[in-house]
Amino acid sequence: MRWRDWPARRRRGVARLTAKQWSGLSAFAVLTIVVAVSVGLPETARTVAPERVREARAALAALSVLPERPPHDTAYDRGTFGSAWTDASDAPGAGNGCDTRNDILARDLEVTGRVPIASCPRAVSSGVLISPYTGRQIVFERGRSSAAVQIDHVVALSYAWDLGAKDWSSTRRTRFANDPSNLLAVDGPSNMDKSDAEPAAWMPPLDGFACQYAVQVVTVLAAYGLPVDDPSRRVLERALAGC
């Protein structure tokens, strides 16, 4: 779905950060860009700082641009980005004894319960998420319904593969897949709807999160030396102009 089509399906509003979530996000320097984009409760909302928006605009202007997203490489395999949510990578925050999924759940949810599991001694067992993509509240309970909250790669692994990640080392791909700067806890339906779409094909249904989403996409692309397809560049430019 293109930018011009969004008003028919987007819910208006703003999803912003709590102080806890803002400080908890990993610093990620790209041309002095440090981005913290997660989600918080409206009564303690914060916006993306103007200087970060300016830096993201500059970073976007500096990205290499492809005429369009390359045809999908059918050789793509999720396994080339390492074991899902492995703690054994050189991504920020890795090696702490907890798998990446639980690290992000702990960062983005208002946690109400913990439980020891094989991959994390203090895994999140319950909590509440305000999905940044819809603004809707989701009650998380570990078990059969836990897929209601999913961890999204903002720059999808398959998209990154098509943009050039297929030429990276396995170490770099594993880092990318577990880098907190490229991860958000979101509602399951939005994550499934997005799939591996680039910004030209999908942006968050919630109008108010477009700026923060664009800042994070640009930051990740710039940090990992990836280009951007021109249709997505135009969408991101428009989103940043609306910050």
Tens-level pLDDT at each residue, the chain (243 residues): 434 344 333 444 444 444 444 444 433 333 323 333 333 333 223 489 999 999 999 999 999 999 999 999 999 999 999 999 999 999 999 999 999 999 999 999 999 999 999 999 999 999 999 999 999 999 999 999 999 999 999 999 999 999 999 999 999 999 999 999 999 999 999 999 999 999 999 999 999 999 999 999 999 999 999 999 999 999 999 999 999
> Do 123 and 142 touch, CB atoms closer than 8 A?
yes
User: Residue 119's pLDDT is what?
Assistant: 97
User: 10 Å Cβ neighbour count for 57?
Assistant: 18
User: Maximum Cα–Cα distance for the chain, whole Å?
Assistant: 48
The whole-number pLDDT of residue 27 equals 37
Q: How high is the pLDDT of residue 47?
A: 83
Distances (CA, A) of 47 to 36, 66, 88: 10, 31, 33
pLDDT at 94: 98
CB neighbours of 145 closer than 8 A, spacing ≥ 6? Answer: none
